[in-house]
Structure 1
């Protein structure tokens, strides 16, 4: 094709970066395989024969299609794809999952996102077994099968029905009415944070109503039948709607550290790496907006007004 476009073997050789004898041999071999002469010489160079014109008109569209196919395959090969399985606790999932799904679809249109919700203990089992690509866990440390990266240090809040008088804008652990508290069950990451904070204050271990459902805990609080302890992200909508109130717990121990965890025995795909960046961006954005309260690692701190 380059010879026909250039009009001479010498100019075609320069364009292709090949020696002229090499180009001539390739054309001779092609003509022999086709059993037809493709070019004829004239005073100003070379031109296509009738057979050469038919060959040119047939091959050019085919080569263009091959270029399109090659480009398409290259783009899809380089585009992050596959299925990414993401596990998250309900306390933060209600805030970040919906917008995160939208941004992930835009960033990785060739990939599919599967989101699983569960409490931290179960999520840790999934990540250790290599069943999920990325998980958000409470206060997990790097182990022999997992790698963790700090994400958010969340403030914890006493959550109760709206309209209940609050003694002050913050509340000490010793000021809690433990007889009214309903919490997630022992063994869950958020519960461990509360238990350790109570121990650090020298308070005898209370007996709680245990409910392994953030939704049910919020419903009990809204009905005025119990108080609970949750991060602000779990109740920010209900607080904004005037259905619940949230009082920040002032103890330095009443803070929950969230980390992003990946399995060491599971390769981290390009799509998973993009999801990791999007999760961090989402958390920093929600902290800045006030929907999450605490300090995002790599981001700003948001304090309760």
Structure 2
């Protein structure tokens, strides 16, 4: 069997009609019918049942259909990667990141990447870090920027930066907090608005506070960051978040920010790719661009709090993780 026959078979199986499949493939119905008949003769078995309402797959057809998609996807990726070796990389690439990262990184990353690599089609996906990890491993995305990635054998992870998680509240500060750092023990009495488990930020917060025997007073769980910030701005409660996603509200005087001490809450931002998939020119270009953009955003003061303290010397939950200064990015 050849790829043309396999593509004809897969398209016909998807649309269930010679006329529609022929239109998609831009071939005449008799030509498509001959391709399918030749494939059935080569395999020695019928792949479709024909009836008055159209066609359906036989058991043999269903079995072949399970393989056809993977074969065609592999061929498409191979062609894309070979073409990417040209001086002007082309193809498609997908990157995933949490909403809190996307609110800072997406616009400058897309603008710079499209300017340098106009022939590469880019797709941005947002989701929780756990979902991004799953999509990366299953091949739905090529690159992920996520928090506190676990050690997995088929995952290649590179630290980008370590950021401190701060307490955010309304400008009128209903609880009357002091101007300096806020002890973690105060979170027991403050009305807190946090994402639900298994949101990555919630897991990090629970881990740090749990070790200090602190149970925050969570009065509301909201998994949408923009909604959380609006509720905090209106004085419904306080939340915990890193500086970058809330910077525009803090600088505009719409939110107040306090450092948390005893314990200091931190999380590590990771650039991850799957070691099971070939590293293409497009993937390398995007990874390099992500590193550069994160570094630029930090240097411009748009990601990390300008007056924050240096966090603990090691990232919680991964004793082997490299130490990353809060003011530095791994090149």
Structure-2 residue corresponding to 1:162? 171
1:87-102 maps to which residues of 2 (within 5 A)?
A: 87-102=96-111
What are structure 2's unaligned runs of at least 5 residues? 1-82, 311-321
Deviations 1:147-191 (A, max 9, x none): 111111111011111232540332221122555101111112111
CA distance in 1, matches of 2:294, 2:323: 9
2:248 is equivalent to residue 237 of structure 1: yes
Structure-1 residue corresponding to 2:327? 301
**Match of residue 197, structure 1, among 178, 185, 208:** 208
Structure-2 residue corresponding to 1:129? 138
For the residue of structure 2 that corresponds to 1:246, the secondary structure is strand
For the residue of structure 1 that corresponds to 2:271, the secondary structure is strand
CA distance in 2, matches of 1:129, 1:203: 37
Q: Shift of residue 192 of structure 1? A: 1.0
1:19-168 maps to which residues of 2 (within 5 A)?
A: 77-164=86-173, 165-168=176-179
Q: Which moved more, 1:161-170 or 1:260-269?
A: 161-170
8 Å Cα contact 1:86/1:134 also seen in 2: yes
Residues paired across the two proteins, number: 229
Structure-2 residue corresponding to 1:64? none
Label 1:187 to 1:246 Cα distance change in 2 as closer, same or farther (>3 A). Answer: same
**Structure with the greater alpha carbon radius of gyration:** 1
CA distance in 2, matches of 1:134, 1:108: 16
8 Å Cα contact 2:222/2:228 also seen in 1: yes
Structure-1 residue corresponding to 2:18? none
TM-score (norm: length of structure 2) = 0.64
CA distance in 2, matches of 1:207, 1:299: 31
1:255-294 maps to which residues of 2 (within 5 A)?
A: 255-293=266-304
8 Å Cα contact 2:85/2:281 also seen in 1: no
Structure-1 residue corresponding to 2:42? none
Q: Which moved more, 1:253-262 or 1:170-179?
A: 170-179
Label 1:178 to 1:80 Cα distance change in 2 as closer, same or farther (>3 A). Answer: farther
8 Å Cα contact 1:179/1:208 also seen in 2: no
8 Å Cα contact 1:100/1:278 also seen in 2: yes
8 Å Cα contact 1:286/1:292 also seen in 2: yes
Label 1:114 to 1:276 Cα distance change in 2 as closer, same or farther (>3 A). Answer: same
**Match of residue 185, structure 2, among 174, 189, 206:** 174
Q: Shift of residue 206 of structure 1? A: 5.0
CA distance in 2, matches of 1:225, 1:205: 16
RMSD: 2.5
8 Å Cα contact 2:165/2:265 also seen in 1: yes
8 Å Cα contact 2:84/2:282 also seen in 1: no
CA distance in 2, matches of 1:240, 1:123: 30
TM-score (norm: length of structure 1) = 0.69
Label 1:100 to 1:259 Cα distance change in 2 as closer, same or farther (>3 A). Answer: same
Structure-2 residue corresponding to 1:223? 234
Label 1:253 to 1:140 Cα distance change in 2 as closer, same or farther (>3 A). Answer: farther
CA distance in 2, matches of 1:163, 1:223: 9
